[in-house]
Chains A and B, each alone.
Chain A
Amino acid sequence: MIEIIVNGKRTSLSAELNIKDAIKELNYTKVGFAVALNGTFVAIATYENTLVRDNDSIEILSPVQGG
């Protein structure tokens, strides 16, 4: 079990997981979002090679209205 922050809220993962598996475990099922890990963009192509570790911070963003 590891502690992480997702979109500003503290939560946990069962273990150190790659981004793809972490998103699945966190129940982010909506399509069309982008991910940043510790303030750095993570491209979809690198999800499986990017590991989420203890105390990491993830941002998961999706389209909204903007000015």
Chain B
Amino acid sequence: MSSQTDLSITELSDDIRAAIAELKKRPEIESVGIITRVGDGVAWIYGLSAAGYNEMLEIEGVNGKKVTAFAFNLSEDEIGAVLLGEDTDVRAGATVRLSGAVLEVPVGPELVGRVVDPLGRPLDGGDPIKAKQNSRVERQAPGVLDRRSVYEPLMTGITAIDAMVPIGRGQRELIIGDRQTGKTAIAVDTMVNQAKQETGVVNVYVAIGQKLSKIAALQERLRREGVMDQTIIVATSPADPAALLYLAPYAGCAMGEYFRDNKQHSLIIYDDLTKHAQAYRQMSLLLRRPPGREAYPGDVFYLHSRLLERASKLNDELGGGSLTALPIIETQAGEVSAYIPTNVISITDGQIYLETNLFYQGIRPAISVGLSVSRVGGSAQTKAVKAAGGGLKLALAQFRELAAFSQFSTDLDEETRHTIERGQRLTELLKQPQYSPYSIWEMYTSLYAATEGAFDKVPLEKIKPAEQALHRELKSKHAKLVDALNTGDKPTDAQNDTIMKAAKSVAQTYEAEESRKAAISADKAEDRKSANG
């Protein structure tokens, strides 16, 4: 023992430092916390003051079960942790240990073709996933210098989208609309197109709180379409804890980022972020964070902005990979000015707005031309589609305006009637059944023929058959032209002439058929008249 006069801060400091070094050699020292209360998927922990935000915690559950949680609320006297397992397996008084790591998920090609939960555990009954690499669920988005602007197209195979609201690789394009308007159908068609056109883009479909039956049906459909071989499904059901729903998009994003960072291209679909925000709201309220507008916590914007910012096109030095995001938002009664829709609209690089009215009028995909926009995709559009679809948006907007106006008038001038008829034909042409994405040549030839007036005399109900006949004709007789158009380069005048000739010849068949039918019905009417007379 030293007396007061012997006190030296340097000596004391050195002594303590030496004692720390000695104690560090002993393995039995570890920091533990105690669960003080648990419920609704949230556990409150005393101790573990050294826990980091989002750090994984291991709880000694009932019957020796290990339950994983992650630290979410780091307050002065306790930690609020969100359980990734069942809260019935955790009791007050249970011991909690720090893992020293933040949440990670397996990533890599081993996950392709599989259905997994947000922790990377298989849900498809297949073999355990032996990924060589893990990645953090929460990662910083690439910085400004790591990126380059979007310039390559990500074709959806849907003419209305690729011609009017084109999507580029690395873009974030929101799909927004009421329930049952075909939001998921657009996303799924885009995935199907990646397989059909052999683009090599890896799809990541994140189902947030979706019915398991729906996910199973989707998986089966994708398998039949041959898309599952380049798809990862991250699935969560409404029965899963809110924490898993919250984690799902971040986990899916980490899986997609692997391909982006390895010079590949990936597409991620968040279906849907409305449910994601709701899961986060549930967690936040249970963690007693102050509620704000619509009871969402104050950082709900950051929740989505940090997720969507991770979608990017990397520069050539980093391999030039990309991660394109198609988030989905469900609106209530077409209300796009609600809290979450406006947030996500402002974060993304454009939106595809689907309308219930159009859907029930049979216009599918029910894309609202006026409200849909792509802010960066124009520079990524293929030259061919750009050339054909240039005036399409304007023509359709004019048609809608005139069509609404013409309902009040019977006498229309020739020009108005022509615009309306052309608009009707274009609208008909943009209808497209599900799971049948178009190639570039199919889109171009249809749009070119229609906008150049080749189908102006074809009856409205025959537009789609005429379009299909044109495609058949070109595919069988002009295979070289088809291949040339598929490169996406701007078509030459000679190529356009060939298309117009074929289109006019096909159109004449339907026009003639129509005239014959009209003549027959006129004869029948005449016969009836004379019989009555």
Q: Do A and B bind each other?
A: no
Q: Which residues of B contact A (CB under 8 A)?
A: none
A interface vs B, CB < 8 Å? Answer: none
